[in-house]
Amino acid sequence: MRISEVYSENKLPVSFEIFPPKGEMDISALREMLDGITGTDPAYVSVTCSAGGTGNSRNTAALAGVIQNEYHIPSVAHITCINSTPFDVDSYVEEIKNKGISNVLALRGDRVPGKTTSSFNYASDLISYLKRTTDFCIGAGCYPEGHVECESFDEDIEHLREKQDAGADFLISQLFFDNQAFFRFIDKIRDRGITIPIDAGIMPIMGKSQITRMIFLCGASMPASVVRMLNKYEDDTQSLIKAGMEFAAKQALEIAESGMANGIHFYCMNKPEVASYEMKAIRDAGY
């Protein structure tokens, strides 16, 4: 199923992101994780390019293929372009197609010092290329508080409009912890004529170092309530994880009630217990 079709078949599609292991992938070793996450019956599962989130990987296509063909859940294979040539992209596309995958998330990817590309400088370049050369359903990333490399929020909105104009079919947002910032973002992009569906990306807090690292990388603001949570449970890992999952569920439910997002996408860090908790919270609320 194409992700663009998911929105018409679900009141509120709930999906998860997972990442493949580095090195050789042993599917049998991943079964417990896959069983737990797919057992929650998500609308789809996206698979990053690597455990670190950078660089295309054979493991991405392989893992996405297992989800699609063995678990019969739509999968989205991430594809990055910043250090790729058209030949690289074509080769990876062929691998994805051979797995029966019809959905991709087209991203620029992280810059590698000393390497440049003249073919794909931005995600919009990759989206345009894929639109011309494939029949994929194409997703794109968006940043509720702006991309850290962008000079201004308005400039980032213009880049997002370019992704839609290039052929993006849906959006998945970067993580955020301030729902008001997300709501302002939605108002802004809709005013700019960005009309494609958007899933709110939510990452449950699993640890203080994890979240501070992610905030530094993506530029998300940290509300006072999150700061208090981190300080309160700094030396109590299990209580912090529980509080983090509860906070994420509250975020998701507030967004669901607002009607301003087309779906919820949890960055569940390959943890089935997180996926189960968040899905139950949403379903118990009637979504």
pLDDT tens digits for range 236-284: 999 999 999 999 999 999 999 999 999 999 999 999 999 999 999 999 9
Percent of the chain with pLDDT over 90: 79
pLDDT value for 117: 56
What is the C-alpha to C-alpha distance for residues 87 and 120, in angstroms, rounded to an integer?
12
In a domain, residue 3? The reply is: no
In a domain, residue 250? The reply is: yes
What is the C-alpha to C-alpha distance for residues 249 and 245, in angstroms, rounded to an integer?
6
pLDDT value for 58: 78
pLDDT tier for residue 28 given thresholds of 50, 70 and 90:
confident
Q: Report pLDDT digits (tens) over 144-187.
A: 999 988 889 999 999 999 999 999 999 999 999 999 999 999 99
Q: Check pLDDT > 90 for residue 50.
A: no
Q: What is the CA radius of gyration of the chain?
A: 18
In a domain, residue 2? The reply is: no
pLDDT tier for residue 209 given thresholds of 50, 70 and 90:
confident
Tell me the CATH number at 131.
3.20.20.220
Residues with a catalytic annotation lie at: 17
Q: Report pLDDT digits (tens) over 89-129.
A: 999 999 999 999 999 999 998 776 666 655 888 999 999 99
Q: Check pLDDT > 90 for residue 83.
A: no
In a domain, residue 72? The reply is: yes
In a domain, residue 46? The reply is: yes
Domain coverage including residue 260: 11-284
pLDDT value for 57: 67
**Helical H segments across 167-207, by residue range:** 179-191
| Count of Cβ atoms closer than 10 Å to residue 52 Cβ | 11
Q: What is the mean pLDDT of residues 79-88?
A: 90
Q: Check pLDDT > 90 for residue 40.
A: yes
Q: What is the DSSP string of 50-63?
A: STTS-S--HHHHHH
Query: What is the number of alpha carbons within 13 Å of residue 250 lying toward its C-beta?
Result: 11
Amino acid, res. 72: H
In a domain, residue 139? The reply is: yes
What is the C-alpha to C-alpha distance for residues 78 and 66, in angstroms, rounded to an integer?
15
pLDDT value for 280: 98
Q: Report pLDDT digits (tens) over 7-24.
A: 988 789 999 999 998 777
Tell me the average pLDDT of the chain.
92
Query: What is the number of alpha carbons within 13 Å of residue 246 lying toward its C-beta?
Result: 9
In a domain, residue 150? The reply is: yes
For the chain, the straight-line distance linking the first and the last C-alpha, in angstroms and rounded, comes to: 21
The total domain count for the chain is 1
In a domain, residue 77? The reply is: yes
Q: Check pLDDT > 80 for residue 138.
A: yes
